[in-house]
Structure 1
Amino acid sequence: MDVRDMTEAAATRAATPFLLKAGCIGTALGLIGMLGLGATTLIAGAAKKSADGKGGGAGCEISGLPEEVTSASTVPGPIRAQQIHNAKIIDNVAQERELPGKASLIALMTALQESGLQNINHGHLDSLGLFQQRPSQGWGTPAEITNPPHSAGLFFGGNPGRPPGLVDVPKWQLMDPGVAAQRVQRSAYPGLYITRRGQAEQVATQAGIDLSRAGSETGREQDPSTPEQGACTPASETPVGAPFHDDAADWPPEVKNPRSTAEAIEWAKSQPGLNEKKWWKWCLKFTAKVYGWNAAGVGSAITHYRVMPEHMKHPGSRDIPPGALMYWETGNEHGHVSVYLGDGKIISNDVLRPGYVDVIPASDVETKWGAQYVGWAPPYFPKGA
């Protein structure tokens, strides 16, 4: 890993206010001070990216101010939930590779330091993902690096033709965890990884991860012909723009909306004919409207997915029940969401005609915008109004 910006390194040890800008509307949203469990690193990177003018890309407008974090020792619930989700993915890969709990600890410490344990699509130079791995340094393609199970496998190592990972470091199990992390990442700030140990242990406890688990120092070699733990299919079988298929699913009982799924789909299909140009960058608002709400109650499309209860998320799945909400990362902090209508089609704003909604193939969001499909979830709007 190349040198990370000194400001970001310092920010991991101090609560520093950052001015966040909404990329879609170009207005300052507020000052947020955030510290703990790697959140500072994440916000610092996002603020720097916004300030540099590099946060562009298609996405949805934030309809309101984000909640202000007032405690320097508390991580907001949505971020904590995503950290726990990613921690479980990392540990699942470690267990699949028959690696001990110490391997999971080292990986969690590293990801907390590098990305705040968030699967981010930006970083220093071309660094990406949980571990801020770089395509230009041979770690893989951007799609591979931002696939958490795959990036965890890269970190753990044993991948011919890729940079050495943890199991490629001789006697890593005998090393201090921070030293072992540095041997993989090769950071200009080697002393920062060990500062994340306490935070990593907290996340592990909340995620139900056994850091004392025994295992092999070299682990089991990963079979490249089989999917990593948590992946739906091998990356080679899910190319960008691959078709989506209908599935059947009953929504969890807590999913309650003013409109039923059938009513929502019927209403959505009627909207393109109105030819109203009023939905520019309002994908989440339109999606909530489909189900009878005036607002979703959260600030952005991708945030709506991240705060979704874990049992409702279906990351990467291309088998989708009609009426489900589909989510994409779009290169900025907002993301994109659409309602799946069935037969591989969605109702979406902006993709075909900016400001209008149209029924289009779901794969168009990837092929026309270059967005990264995240997954689907039921139409759950607990803060809908």
Structure 2
Amino acid sequence: MDKKTLIVIVLVCAFLFSGGGLFLAGSGAIVAMAGVFNGSLGGSKGGGSSGGVPPGTVCDPGGETLKEHIPGYGWHTVDKQQMANAAVIVHVGEATKIPENGLIIAIMTALQESKLENIRGGDRDSVGLFQQRPSAGWGSIDEIMDPNYSAKAFFGGPNHPAPPNPPGLLAYKWETMGKGQAAQKVQASAFPEAYDKWESLAGKIVGRAKDIKCTDVGLEGDVGKVIAAAKRWIGTPYCWAGGDEKGPTNEERCPPPMPPGFDCSGLMHHAYAQVGISLYPYTGNQWEAGTRVHNYTDLKPGDLMFWSSDGTVPGIHHVSMYLGNDSMIHAPRTGKNVEIVTEVSKNSYWMNQWIGGSRILKEGSGSGKDSGGTQAAGIPLIGPRREI
């Protein structure tokens, strides 16, 4: 008998002998009560809700299966074959260097079109995971029924197996669109609003395919909100001096019609603003904020990471955010997009410039807010803006 079962039996017995036993025994509710206790003790092995993970967050909440209630649809459980099909889509996207938000869009699309089932049939001549139509130029039936082929066709770009038409996701400025809007650009569906409801589940599916555990990135409280706010903008272009509390912006060096973007400190400024913390959008001020983290190995999810050209504080030129598991998110430089970097400690380019970190959120509370205001203690709010 395992420990959980023993605890349940003890609790049930205690209830029975406390005076509530006759009714429970007579109604057969002991079984139901045990199920409740077992669930409260973590005995459930199924999927279920994410425990408050923000929609679209790329992480695996655990459990044997992924299961979620979809607005306007009901409960959907991802079985092993559906997950295998999703893994093909994710790995094809990674090979095409698609950012995580693009992977979510692809999974959202396949969930809506086929529930991630590789079906030979659908509306008119539509087939496959994305319900692509041979008559529209997507390829032959046999080609589209190959998940690897259909995923390449959906993403398009340099690996598009059937160029030039119909174009895939990379043919559009999808980073500046909502995820459902981007899916609709590719699919030209008669139900353009149908994709968005799948975003939360799609993020978990991508997280499972990429083996990113929600617990690994500290997705609880304000830490989770800050990380989710930064990850929301993966794939967004770099824009010097770009980014505010609301999101990416156009600035002098990236005016319209160029897409709005972030620079490195602007992304941090935006992420922490989502939990009521006002970080000034300048690396020098952000270095002075919060509590110093001297050693790389002492970093925790949500900490700011700083990089210096000469090992001195005046030489600090870049800031990023630690995600856990030796990875970080940042807005790199002009011509690049917001991205996640993995195995940072093994990267000589970064570690030769490491100077330290700042912990903005208070330890133990899950919040960086002081009781008397909306900014964390010690955060300066004035100063010039300077970074690469």
TM-score, scaled relative to structure 2:
0.35
- By relative contact order (CA 8 Å, sep 6+), the higher-ranking structure is 1
Return the index of the structure with the highest Cα Rg.
2
